Amino acid sequence: MRDRLTIGTFRASALTIILTLAGILVFLVREGIPALTKKPFEGLRFAVHPSNPVQKLSADQCRALFQKNLAWPDVGGPHTPVLPIHLYNLERYVGSQATPEKIKAFLDSVAQVTGILVALPPTWLPTSLRPIRVEWSAWEALFGSTRWSPTYEPLPEVGLWPLLLGSLWVALLGLLITIPLGVAMAIYVAEFLPRTLYYPMKVLWEVVAGLPSVVVGFWGLVVLVPWLQKSFHLTTGETALTAALLLGWMTIPLMASLSEEALSNVPRLLVEASYGLGATPWQTILRVKIPAIRSSLLTATLLSAGRILGETMIVLIVSGNAPVLPTSPLSPVRTLPATLAAELGEAPVGSYHYHTLFFLGLILFLLTLAINILAYAITPAEKKT
Amino acid sequence: MPLRLPKKKPKRWGEKALTLVVATISWSMLIVLVGVIGFLAYQGGKVLSWAFLTTPMREGMQAGGIAPPLVGSLWVSTLALLIGAILGTATGAYLSEFSPKGRLHRLIELLVNTLAGVPSIVYGLFGLALFVVALGLGASILSGALTLSLLSLPILIRNAQEAFAGVSADLKLTSLGMGASPAQTFWRITLRLAFPRLITGYVLAMGRLLGETAPILFTVAAYYLPTYPRSPFEPTMMLPYHLYALITSGTNITQTYPMAFGTALVLVSLTLILTIAAAILRFRLKKRLHV
């Protein structure tokens, strides 16, 4: 009886692991998918003057009209300047303490202007205006644009590419640091380090890997950022390279310990055969051992990439956070996790912005999941514990 | 004809140079680490005092101490460790001692590995969606602790698995052979012998939890709340987020920097002490077990 209770309890707690992963997936999907199905302007109606022949606008056209980057004739409208009115510029016209009556009177008066374009809640819409349709394709907004300004009113821009490519760019640069240095350290520890120093070296790795990332980011901000700025004569030292240097450094222990383990487990037979043929220690390392652990090195690389892709605080603090497409190692970038950390706190629960951020989270989750499963799949069967 | 041996061993300068390169790279990691910690210790040491640790901040975080975030961090991490340790140890025990090594076992192992690679910010999102919003716990110590406990599960499970598997099979078999049931064997023999190793894992996990920032951003951490939490349903300040707030959103960065250095020093010392304590514990255990 007690046996069944013990084992049953243990099994139940093991199942929480399945629940956790399923839960993460379910909640990210539940909160993220509305970014594909909802429109950012669900509570708003767009309308124009009745004499305006325009019937429908694409989201980009409409946004450009609001920003006055396009004029009415460009979209087949009248030859008059655009007068954009929406919830966020209304205040400029009527003051912040306007009564509903005053707002209504103001709206009714501007409704006479031929070039008017409004985006307002249905109840506020002056009855004399004619509603138009604004087309929104979530797919195009997310993947067809390279601009990220998710809080722009009334039509946000949620192009994912700057963030996605920013993440990949930082990960790539970080790996360029992590892989060679990590492998070099693994070789030193596995081949040349005196045994008495083996354990202290492992502890050193553990300490580096365990440093709080916010502290490393802070150090980078006060030491590395000014230094890079000075030595490369940059306008700002907050660049993709800054983040990659710190991230790469923090990920070296992971790369090194996985590679070291693999190096130490190369079959003795191979090593002795190599020495027997007259190979030197380094010839053996470079021509026999490294080729023998290729798949382990790939696993280590994948896991390191996953770690770098998911790291949040360092990037948030030192990478400049500019959501633009990265063009060089010295350009500022913004990554997926940094965007989540910076913006989710300000996005109202249930808003379009909130759902878009969860959609980003879903992408990040699936990306790291794929990397981890791939790493697991290429690990030789006998090493899966 | 006499055998002519080379007079000297060939010098192999290339080999020596390569060895020197990898040695330099390896030890430079120590130099950088000492540089980072030394810099923080030097700058942070200027503000560090007993009062810094025991009083709340004043004047919009530009003066005073860091007691509320320190207390908050300890609260949340301890609670998270408690939940994580119970779940993680039980799961580790199941995987190592009881589960039939079939498909379910492999699935759980795969999931543990996968969860270990999930970015911590994703746990933050999950915690926000599930604990804060769906379960209505709000931004509170409980939400944060639950989120962090899930994050710590993979490390704690692996640690427990290794701890239980490390207990000599002879002892387990002897116990079973004397008529003890599997559960009795687990409670009386395996758990007791694995205990020191389990503790080592908890210490290490605590070190990690104290430094985590991303998962607490939306689930618990308050930007400015200079009081001490009275129940697990209240939000609290926490050290990592306090540091982040100090360096990014202060109105007068140069005035908040000394406070930031102090906070960073405390945070890094806590994680350093716990990581090294775990390492020493493990080292002593290793010695004992080899006898």
Name, in order, each residue with C-beta under 8 angstroms of A92's C-beta and a sequence gap of 6 or more: none
Q: Which of A284, A286, A260 is nearest to A270 (CA)?
A: A284
* DSSP letters spanning A41-65: TTT-EEEE-TT----EEEHHHHHHH
Q: CB A384 to CB B109 under 8 A?
A: yes
Side chain identity at residue A1, one-letter code: M
Q: B208 contacts in A (CB within 8 Å)? A: 210
B110 found inside a domain: yes
Q: Quick count: other Cβ atoms within 10 Å of Cβ A48?
A: 24
Q: A282 contacts in B (CB within 8 Å)? A: 14-15, 18-19
Question: Which CATH number is B276's domain given?
Answer: 1.10.3720.10
B21 found inside a domain: no
CA B201 to chain centroid, in Å, comes to 9
Rg (CA), chain B: 25
Name, in order, each residue with C-beta under 8 angstroms of A63's C-beta and a sequence gap of 6 or more: A152, A155, A157
**Rounded Cα–Cα distance for residues A261 and A282 (Å):** 18
B223 found inside a domain: yes
Q: B129 contacts in A (CB within 8 Å)? A: 27-28, 30-31, 358
Q: How far is B263 from chain A (nearest CA, A)?
A: 9
Tokens 């304590």 found at: B277
**Backbone φ, ψ for residue A58 (5° rounding):** -80, 160
B208 found inside a domain: yes
Determine the structural domain holding residue B145 and report its residue range: 66-288
Q: CB B23 to CB A307 under 8 A?
A: no
Residues 159-178 of chain A whose Cβ lies under 8 A from any Cβ of chain B: none
B201 found inside a domain: yes
pLDDT tens series, chain B, 291 aa: 566 666 666 668 888 999 999 999 999 999 999 999 999 999 999 888 888 888 888 776 777 788 899 999 999 999 999 999 999 999 999 999 888 888 888 889 889 988 999 999 999 999 999 999 999 898 899 999 999 999 999 999 999 999 999 888 888 899 999 988 888 899 988 999 899 899 999 999 999 999 999 999 989 877 778 788 888 888 899 999 999 988 887 666 677 888 899 999 999 999 999 999 999 988 888 777 643
CA B177 to chain centroid, in Å, comes to 39
B34 found inside a domain: no
B10 preceded by a cis bond (ω within 30 of 0) = no
**Rounded Cα–Cα distance for residues A129 and A115 (Å):** 11
* Structural contact between residues A132 and A57, judged by C-beta atoms closer than 8 angstroms: yes
Cβ-count burial B123-152 (b if 16+ within 10 Å, e if not): bbbbbbbbbbbeeebebbbbbbbbbbbbbb
pTM of the entire predicted model: 0.91
Side chain identity at residue A62, one-letter code: C
Quick one: tokens of B90? 């039980």
* pLDDT tens digits, one per residue of A141-161: 888 888 888 888 788 888 899
Residues 243-302 of chain A whose Cβ lies under 8 A from any Cβ of chain B: 249, 252, 280-282
B26 found inside a domain: no
Closest CB to A188: pick one of B26, B93, B150.
B26
B154 found inside a domain: yes
CA B290 to chain centroid, in Å, comes to 27
Quick one: tokens of A297? 């090195």
Give residue A385's pLDDT: 47
Tally of domains in chain B? 1
Count helices and strands in chain A by DSSP H and E runs: 18, 7
**Backbone φ, ψ for residue A240 (5° rounding):** -60, -35
**Backbone φ, ψ for residue A133 (5° rounding):** -100, 135
Q: CB A222 to CB B257 under 8 A?
A: yes
Q: CB A185 to CB B264 under 8 A?
A: no
* Structural contact between residues B167 and B98, judged by C-beta atoms closer than 8 angstroms: no
Q: Which of B133, B139, B123 is nearest to B214 (CA)?
A: B123
